[in-house]
Amino acid sequence: MKTLSKHFAIAALALAAAGSAHAQAGYPNKPIHIVVTFTTGGAPDILARLIGERLQAAWGQTVVIDNKPGAGGNTGADSVAKAAPDGYTVVVGTVGTHSINGALYKKMPYDMVKDFTPITLLATTPNMLVIHPDVPAKNLKEFIALGKKDGKMTFASSGAGTSIHVSGELFKTMTGIDMEHIPYKGRASAIPDLLGGRVTMMFDNMPSSLPLVKDGKLRALGVTSAKRSAAAPEIPTLAEQGLPGFEAVSWFALFAPANTPAPIADKLQAEVSRILKSPEISKKLLEIGLEPGGGTPAELAAYQKGEITKWAKVVKDSGATAD
């Protein structure tokens, strides 16, 4: 009887393995869901829709974009961490959801590294310090002087833990200006208050604010990257305007749930990388201030590790918290 049971068990395992191999070989054969951890209109949403449209065309399967904002992106990221590891649910992770939030939130619903399979870096972009045109400061030096003279200022963000939030905390630390953080559920909620003059400033992702700056609706005082952006070379960096060492770059990457089979992860990486490096998409991203990615899963994992270390120090030094 024991021998018979053993044979049944071995047969069951063989069938399961064969079924799994067949599923991987036939991937994808049903709709793919790309979760965006913020509201529509921002850089993660832009990337998801560009990639989703071209994945759908290449693979002949529907690609659904699911916007799941909340808790600095943790809500959407957590939903993917707990999804089936079959390649049909992935997330556009951000510098917040996958490097900052672990240090900022006292209790995380997921592990930023252990609960995900890295796929590929999608893009990087500087944040841009923007203010309402009515604020009486034409450059960073005048803005800092105004902040120290007039006292308390407010800065908006797309949620606690985002690079937009932590850029503001770093700015507070380096300038000594008393600033109150006003978190929103996404930049789509924050921008109207900035345009209406209800908050003083915001470190927004460049793809979101550059059109508003060009239209004269917002004034850009600087970018947070080490070098000026090719999309707006006329806008100086904060570092070159008297804040040496100030660097806060936003990044966006594709992650699948932990234990996603390597053949599926590799197929996703190869196709998404091909899309990002195509002349049409690359040009479109560069025009709005996004530097295309497309590296390997190992490269993304190494990059994420360095970013976790970097932002943990920034959070600790600033005393920032999401609670």
Instruction: Report pLDDT digits (tens) over 161-204.
Output: 888 898 998 899 899 998 999 998 888 889 999 999 999 999 99
Q: Who contacts 127 (Cβ-Cβ below 8 Å, separation ≥6)? A: 163, 164, 167, 203, 204, 205, 206, 223, 224, 248, 249, 250
Condensed to tens digits (0 to 9), the pLDDT of residues 78-109 reads 999 999 999 999 999 999 999 999 998 989 99
Class of domain 28-124+250-318: alpha beta
Instruction: Write out the residue limits of the CATH 3.40.190.10 domain(s) in the chain.
Output: 126-241
Q: Which fold has domain 126-241?
A: D-Maltodextrin-Binding Protein; domain 2 (3.40.190)
How far are the Cα atoms of 28, 88, 252 from residue 56, in angstroms, in the given order?
10, 13, 20
Res. 261 pLDDT band, cuts 50 70 90: very high
In whole angstroms, give the CA distance from residue 75 to residue 249. Answer: 22
Burial of 280 (0-12, 13-18, 19+ CB in 10 A): exposed
CB 159 within 8 A of CB 322: no
pLDDT over 90 at 129, yes or no: yes
pLDDT over 60 at 2, yes or no: no
Res. 219 pLDDT band, cuts 50 70 90: very high
Sign of the dihedral defined by the CA atoms of residues 110, 111, 113, 115, in that order: negative
Q: Who contacts 242 (Cβ-Cβ below 8 Å, separation ≥6)? A: 140, 141, 144
**Mean pLDDT value of segment 32-44:** 93
Q: How do 116-131 and 291-292 pair as beta strands?
A: antiparallel
How far are the Cα atoms of 23, 92, 98, 151, 207 from residue 95, in angstroms, in the given order?
32, 10, 5, 30, 16
CB 210 within 8 A of CB 232: yes
Residue 222's SS3 state is strand
Percentage of residues in the chain having pLDDT higher than 90: 71
Residue 245's SS3 state is coil
Residue 123 has what pLDDT?
Answer: 96
Residue 17 has what pLDDT?
Answer: 43
Residue 206 identity = M
- The answer to whether the predicted template modeling score (pTM) of the entire model surpasses 0.85 is no
In whole angstroms, give the CA distance from residue 216 to residue 132. Answer: 9
Instruction: Write out the residue limits of the CATH 3.40.190.150 domain(s) in the chain.
Output: 28-124+250-318
**Mean pLDDT value of segment 104-128:** 95
In whole angstroms, give the CA distance from residue 158 to residue 137. Answer: 24
**Mean pLDDT value of segment 303-311:** 94
